[in-house]
Amino acid sequence: MTNFIDKVAVVTGAAQGIGAATALKLAAGGATVVVLDLNEAGAKDTAQQISADPQVLASGGRAVAAACDVTDEATVDRVFADLHREFGRLDILVNNAGITRDNLFFKMERPDWDSVLTTNLTSAYLCSRAAQRYMVPARSGRIVSLSSRSALGNRGQANYAAAKAGIQGLTATLAIELGPFNVTVNAVAPGYIATSMTAATAERVGSSPAEHQAAVAARTPLGRVGQPEEVAAAVVFFASDDASYISGQTLYINGGAR
């Protein structure tokens, strides 16, 4: 188990899915993890479950919940300042918050374009900007953001693809600018992962989640879809000391699919 004892991590969109799985792995390594989510009740429930996990209890880690609209600049700045004031440090930021509003391009309405770009990309800008205020003076930090295989293009996801491609450009640029301060910046780009988001995609195309997963598995070299814990493992690696000389990279996690 990677050692995150005495580290403080913030994971956005962590009430469920990949964010919750990442928060659990960080806490199991001994970190104090802030489960940050717009859904305050969901964040509290997830934080309680993590704190009660046997591995987390054994490591001395813990999870606390914080409500935050990561698309609102003033709210993000205030919440990150409050967290730094409470814990005295910020070592790890995981930009995981995201939504989909899928549709073919000629049917896509402006509000669906704007909401996906704002939630998936602008939030990463706002949270990373807030986090670096504390990481740069400390000359230490890890920022890991969630991109997607859809960054390479995906039918019905022009908005999501653009946002996730933007994450990769933001990651590469922040790695250049923050590297002199010993802050590494990386991204992971999952393929099909079994989450509520991909279940919603299945319903959009008129399929059940099980049927949709079976179809994806059939064209994936490993013969199955991914699980949130498998993406979380890569995020946690980038957040660890083992990745201290890796920065500006995007790792695709897709079972070998092309």
What whole-number distance in Å separates Cα of residue 182 and Cα of residue 91?
11
What whole-number distance in Å separates Cα of residue 137 and Cα of residue 70?
23
Burial profile 48-78: b = 16 or more Cβ within 10 angstroms, e = fewer: eebbeeeebeebebebbbbbbbbbbeeebee
For the sheet with 92-95, list strands across it: 62-67, 32-37, 8-12, 92-95, 141-146, 183-190, 250-253
What whole-number distance in Å separates Cα of residue 1 and Cα of residue 236?
10
Q: Count other Cβ atoms within 10 Å, centred on residue 7.
A: 24
What whole-number distance in Å separates Cα of residue 248 and Cα of residue 136?
17
Question: Which residue of the set 125, 160, 192, 252 is catalytic?
Answer: 160
Helix (H) or strand (E) holding 183: strand 183-190
The question of whether 160 is a catalytic residue gets the answer: yes
At 110, which amino acid appears?
Answer: R
Kindly give, in sequence order, each residue whose CB lies less than 8 Å from that of residue 137, ignoring residues fewer than 6 positions away: none
What whole-number distance in Å separates Cα of residue 77 and Cα of residue 183?
19
Instruction: For 210, list phi and psi in degrees, rounded to 5.
Output: -65, -45
Structure tokens at 33: 């993890």
Residues annotated as catalytic (active site), given as ranges: 160
